[in-house]
Structure 1
Amino acid sequence: MRQNPSFAMTDVAEIRRVIDAHPWVTIVSGTDAGLVASHYAVLLDPARDDLTIVGHVGRPDDLIHGLGESELLVVVQGPHGYISPGWYGDGPAVPTWNFVSVHLRGIPEILTPSENLDVLERLVDRFESGMAQPRPMWQAPNDEDFVRKLERGTVGFRLTPTHVTAKRKLSQNRPAEVVDTIIERLDAGDSPYADPRLADEMRRARDTMRAARS
């Protein structure tokens, strides 16, 4: 991902927030057979306060990616959406696409079976927590044999990235009044491109810039 200083995200807490809010990622590896990509959910490592993530892949994706043997890229996609030139005012303009994205690169560490099992359990707990009646991984009718078989069919990993590129392209190069108008349009819900989540990201970037200037 090409970086632009005007759009760079460098605050670790902000990058962690994006990863935590958007755990469904794309994992890309370069192999002898060419590029391969898979999609899995990840979590921030609770034992760390950096950008280390933990997750798993299903077998045989570990072999396809050469997991643990070579560098891979994890792409975290935050809110994104179309920005109409009609939201810029009366001057000449073309459309663009606003987005927040994080790229994490490094060689992952393979987890032990017990560590992998812990990650699987925490993944289930994370997403079941929003349900009216959460169903943890160990809850019946799941039994120990079922859960252990599940673990054996996956390979857990921990990735402490050696290279991070984080970018939020959120109209920071536009005048303040234009940014405010775009946020209003994204919040309004009167177009097919309305997206309150993207509007929230734009507010965060706008307020950060205004605080820095003051």
Structure 2
Amino acid sequence: MRQNPSFAMTDVGELRRLIARNPWATLVSAAPDGLVASHYAVLLDDGRDDLTIVGHVGRPDDLLHGLGERELMVIFQGPHGYVSPGWYGDAAGVPTWNFASVHLSGVPELLTTEENLQVLDRLVAHFESPRDDPRLLWERPNDAAYVERLEKGTIGFRLTPTKVVAKRKLSQNKTPEVVESVILELEGTGPYSNPALAAEMRRAHDAMAAARNS
């Protein structure tokens, strides 16, 4: 991902927030026969306060990626959407796409069976906990034999990135008046309504304004 200073994301807290809110990740590696991409839910390692992540792949994706042997890039895509030049007022402009994205790269560590079971348990709990009647990994009708068979079909990993590229392109090159116009359009009911992107823009621009005034 091409980087430019005005759009760079460097605050670890903001990167963790983006990853936590967008756990469906794309895993990319360079295999002998070409690029390989897979898609899995990935979580921040709850024992760390950095950008270390944990997850799993189903067999044989571990072999396709050379998991534990080759560099792996994990891509998290935050809110994104179309921005019309008609939202800029009576000024020259072209369409663009606003987005926030994080790329983490490194050689992952393979987890033991026990560690993988803990990650699988946490993944299920993470996504089931908002439900009124959550179905957790070890609860009936699942039994231990079923869970253990499930685990054998997966390979868990932990990735502490050695390279981080994160970008938040949210109209930072526009005037405050244009930014507010774009946010209001995204908050509206038009064909490109996108409240999540509007909220991300407002958060970023409020932080920029606070930094300028501090």
TM-score range, shorter chain: over 0.9
The ranges of structure 1 where at least 4 consecutive aligned residues each deviate by more than 3 angstroms after the TM superposition are none
In the TM superposition, residue 131 of structure 1 has moved relative to its aligned partner by 1.3
Paired with 2:210 and 2:131, the residues of 1 have a C-alpha distance of 38
Q: Distance in 1 between matches of 2:58 and 2:209?
A: 45
SS in 1 for 2:42: strand
In the TM superposition, what are the counterparts of 1:1-214 in structure 2 within 5 Å? Answer: 1-189=1-189, 191-214=190-213
In the TM superposition, residue 36 of structure 1 has moved relative to its aligned partner by: 0.4
Secondary structure of the corresponding residue to residue 141 of structure 2: coil
Tell me how far 1:204 sits from its aligned partner: 1.0
Matches of 1:165 and 1:96, distance apart in 2: 21
- How much does 1:67 deviate? 0.1
TM-score w.r.t. structure 1 length? 0.99
Cα deviation for residue 188 of structure 1 reads: 1.0
| 2:133 match: secondary structure | coil
**Distance in 1 separating the partners of 2:122 and 2:185:** 38
Decide which moves more: 46-55 or 124-133.
124-133
Q: CA deviation at 1:208?
A: 1.1
SS, match of residue 16 in structure 2: helix
Alignment RMSD, CA only? 0.5
SS at match of 2:43: strand
Shift of residue 192 of structure 1?
A: 1.7
What CA deviation, in whole Å up to 9, does each residue of 1:19-57 have, x standing for no partner? 000000000000111000000000100110000000000
- The residue type paired with residue 210 of structure 1 is A
Higher mean Cα deviation, 126-135 or 169-178? Answer: 126-135
Letter in 1 for 2:176: A
| TM superposition score normalised by structure 2 | 0.99
1:110 maps to amino acid: L
Counterpart CA distance in 2 for 1:213 and 1:29 is 40
| Distance in 1 (alpha carbons) for counterparts of 2:150 and 2:88 | 52
Q: Distance in 1 between matches of 2:89 and 2:4?
A: 25
Structure 2: tracts of 5 or more residues without a match: none
Cα distance in 1 for partners of 2:191, 2:49 equals: 38
What do residues 135-180 of structure 1 show as CA deviations (whole Å, max 9, x unaligned)?
A: 1011111011100000000000000000000100000100000000
- Structure 1 gap segments, 5+ residues each: none
Q: How many residues align?
A: 213
Could you say what secondary structure the match of 2:78 adopts? strand
Matching residue's letter, 2:151: E
Partner Cα separation in structure 1 for residue 101 and residue 111 of structure 2: 26
Q: Which amino acid aligns with 1:77?
A: Q
Q: Within 2, Cα distance between the matches of 1:192 and 1:148?
A: 47
Quick one: which amino acid aligns to residue 28 of structure 1? Answer: V
The AA in structure 2 aligned to 1:104 is L
Instruction: Report how far residue 193 of structure 1 moved.
Output: 1.1
CA distance in 2, matches of 1:125, 1:153: 19
Compute the displacement of 1:105 (Å).
0.3
